[in-house]
A = this chain, B = another copy of it.
Amino acid sequence: MTRRFIIKEIHQQKLKDQKAVIKGWVKSVRTAKWGAFIVVNDGSCQRDIQCVADKDIEGFEETVAKLSIGCSIALTGNLVESQGRVKAIEMQVESCELIGGVSEDYPLQKKATSLEFLREVAHLRSRTNTFGAVFRVRHALAFATHKFFNDRGFYYLNTPIITSSDAEGAGDMFRVSTLKKGESDYSKDYFGQETFLCVSGQLEGETFAQGMGAIYTFGPTFRSENSNTARHLAEFWMIEPEVAFFDLEDNAQLASDYLKYLISYAMENCLEELEFLQQMYKKDLIETLNHVKDSPFEKITYTEAVEILNNSGKKFEYQATWGSDLQTEHERFLAEEHFNKPVIVTDYPKDIKAFYMKLNEDGKTVRAMDVLVPGVGEIIGGSQREDDYEKLLSRMKEMDLKEEDYWWYLELRKFGSVPHSGFGLGFERAVMYITGMSNIRDVIAYPRYPNNAKF
């Protein structure tokens, strides 16, 4: 039996003068007097393969002549180098088998379809060039994440999805329950108490960093805020490293190394995808990525950032004032106009940051860091964590958090406490940034947002 090759193997290894079977879906078919060109893709790579079928081959009229876009087929034939200027591998078809036909209402026809329309047929969109590219890059970035941390001795940790604690102390959580309509006694619920979907795995991550040294999570997180924007999802994936004996400097270095690694890995493994996305969606994509990969990240304090904004002469919708959070317009000005590269902003006022961040000696700021990138704004948020029991407890009291809800988190500061730091990267934000896609709903398989949980 002739061996099946996937199209990626054929192109990468330039397999020629070799008999092969190709299985995939018809991207286009063009018939002529002498026979037909059938362009096939099997999802393994960006590049299709052109298959040339002479009209004399067996069963031409019954199969090839009836093919349409989207049909699944198996072709047997010889792989040869094409005659044209570009020496691509193509197939001289000897036989064609139709595996699955396509009914007339197939929504992916030759004419270009909008990204909005494709969201309505998300179960089919991975068959298009755009989404094939996006999801192969997404895969590469996920694999690069595991490789980066594994190579550096970090251990992958699965923190709980269903949780009884609120990691951010900020609300906006989805409730998880098995109670029936009308029941509301949570002591009779599945877990015997109120439970929610996690907003972060950080607090649990810290517990394991203090046993295993360096851990990272990579799992789904959830926010129930009513945000209907191109940058928010109710369900998104986050990567959260957490490292014992790490201070804010170490943390910033790790964040910068990681982002650069992601870009390098995508460039090395998905160049055809990135070139396609550049051509279709963002003319300077590869140049921008190269620039970020090769530039040292800028590092400034929040206080310096506010000064830069106020001295910029630029009119913002909101003026930057010390003590208020930076707006997206501020973040983008810093990363895009002022520095034109990623910027790490550190040492924010304590009142606009979470309770677990380490207090600086000034008593006013905390050892927080946000990484801002051109085009997206904040992509990473992190901090050195408060490792002093009394300081953490007093901060929790200031913020009306209940000590008993966080007893185990507090205990880490009683039993061999260490300086430690970590950050969170929103995975979809990173995928957007590296693919150049402008809507976050186009970089996750089945996006969840207000009034949408389809598929």
Contact = CB atoms under 8 A, between A and B. Distances in A.
Interface of A: 4, 6, 8-9, 23-26, 42-44, 70-72, 74, 99-103, 105-106, 108, 121-128, 131-132, 135-136, 138-139, 142-143, 146, 150, 153, 155-165, 174-179, 181-182, 184, 190-193, 195, 197, 204, 207-208, 210-214, 219-220, 222, 224, 226, 234-235, 237, 244-245, 387, 408-409, 411-419, 444-446, 448, 450-455
Contact of A142 (B42, B156, B204, B213): B156
Given A43-B244, A153-B44, A204-B446, A123 B412 contact: yes
A259 B208 CA distance: 27
Contacts of A8: 153
Contacts of A123: 204, 207, 408-409, 411-412
B191 A452 contact: yes
Contact of A158 (B6, B220, B413, B415): B220
A126 B72 contact: no
Contacts of A224: 178, 190
7 contacts: A44-B212, A71-B416, A123-B408, A158-B220, A174-B177, A190-B234, A204-B446
Nearest to A210: B127
Q: Please provide the 8 A-B residue pairs with the shortest distance between their CB atoms, ordered closest to farther.
A: A126-B211, A100-B417, A43-B213, A43-B212, A191-B453, A192-B451, A72-B416, A123-B408
A243 B165 CA distance: 38
Given A162-B235, A213-B6, A417 B193 contact: no
Contacts of A234: 162, 190-191
Copies in the complex: 2
B177 A156 contact: no
Contacts of A418: 23, 72, 99-100
A448 to B, nearest CB: 5
Contacts of A419: 99
A100 B219 CA distance: 31
A135 to B, nearest CB: 6
Contact of A136 (B139, B212, B417): B212
Nearest to A26: B416
A112 B247 CA distance: 34
Contacts of A124: 207, 211, 411, 415
